[in-house]
């Protein structure tokens, strides 16, 4: 019955596939700016697209001691950052984390971020689970990378 072994060996793989793949949520164009002058904190931006409603509930990055989800609360002229417990991702509509609002906040960087480098960021979604994205570090005056909306 040695002949049958390969067939049995396939069972675990099939079981995993039939459990349903995680929703093909996509994260594109992750970037952060060069921490000129040795700033201890940095914001990471990106575009998230999900076919189903989801929620970004946590993030972490090895380059920082602390990682938080934040937004910018525009008040009476003064802008201030606000911590968030999660960021809702609408279905089929790219959500931009950009310098005008939502961002992943890296606090207490272990090393400066230098243009041309890149670093991993781990994102935890309520439904899609854990994703690893690579953020590119861009020069202070450089234009952010475009997320590219391929359908």
Residue 29, token pair as written in the block:
């164009």
Q: What separation in angstroms does the CA of 115 have from each of 36, 56, 83, 135?
A: 9, 27, 27, 11
- Smallest separation, CB 18 to Cu ion (Å): 42
Which one of 63-71, 114-122, 123-131, 136-144 is the stretch in contact with Cu ion (CB under 5 A)?
Answer: 63-71
| 83 CB-near residues (< 8 Å, 6+ apart) | 68, 69, 70
Which one of 4-12, 64-72, 108-116, 118-126 is the stretch in contact with Cu ion (CB under 5 A)?
Answer: 64-72
Neighbours of 137 (CB within 10 A): 21
Cα-to-chain-centroid distance, residue 1: 48
Of 32 and 70, nearer to Cu ion (C-beta) is 70
**Binding Cu ion by CB under 5 A: which of 30, 63, 70, 121?**
70
- Smallest separation, CB 80 to Cu ion (Å): 9
State yes or no: residue 81 binds Cu ion (CB under 5 A).
yes
Q: Count the residues in the chain.
A: 151
Q: Which of residues 10-39 bind Cu ion (CB under 5 A)?
A: none
Of 105 and 125, nearer to Cu ion (C-beta) is 105
Give the C-alpha separation, 116 to 127, whole Å.
32
State yes or no: residue 59 binds Cu ion (CB under 5 A).
no
- Smallest separation, CB 50 to Cu ion (Å): 23
Q: Are 33 and 140 in contact (CB under 8 A)?
A: yes
- Smallest separation, CB 62 to Cu ion (Å): 19
Which residue ranges make up the site for Cu ion (CB under 5 A)? 70, 81, 105
């Amino acid at each position: 019955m040695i002949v049958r072994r390969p067939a049995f060996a396939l069972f675990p793989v099939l079981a995993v596939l039939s459990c349903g793949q995680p929703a093909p949520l996509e994260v594109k164009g992750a970037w952060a700016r060069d921490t000129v002058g040795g700033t201890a904190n940095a914001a990471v931006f990106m575009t998230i697209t999900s076919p189903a409603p989801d929620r970004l509930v946590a993030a972490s990055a090895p380059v920082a001691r602390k990682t938080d989800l934040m937004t910018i609360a525009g008040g009476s002229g003064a802008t201030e950052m606000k911590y968030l417990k999660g960021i809702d991702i609408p279905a089929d509509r790219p959500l931009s984390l950009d310098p005008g609002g939502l961002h992943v906040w890296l606090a207490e960087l272990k090393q400066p971020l230098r243009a041309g480098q890149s670093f991993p960021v781990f994102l935890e979604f309520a439904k899609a689970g854990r994703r690893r994205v690579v953020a590119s570090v861009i020069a202070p005056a450089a234009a952010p990378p475009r997320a590219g909306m391929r359908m």
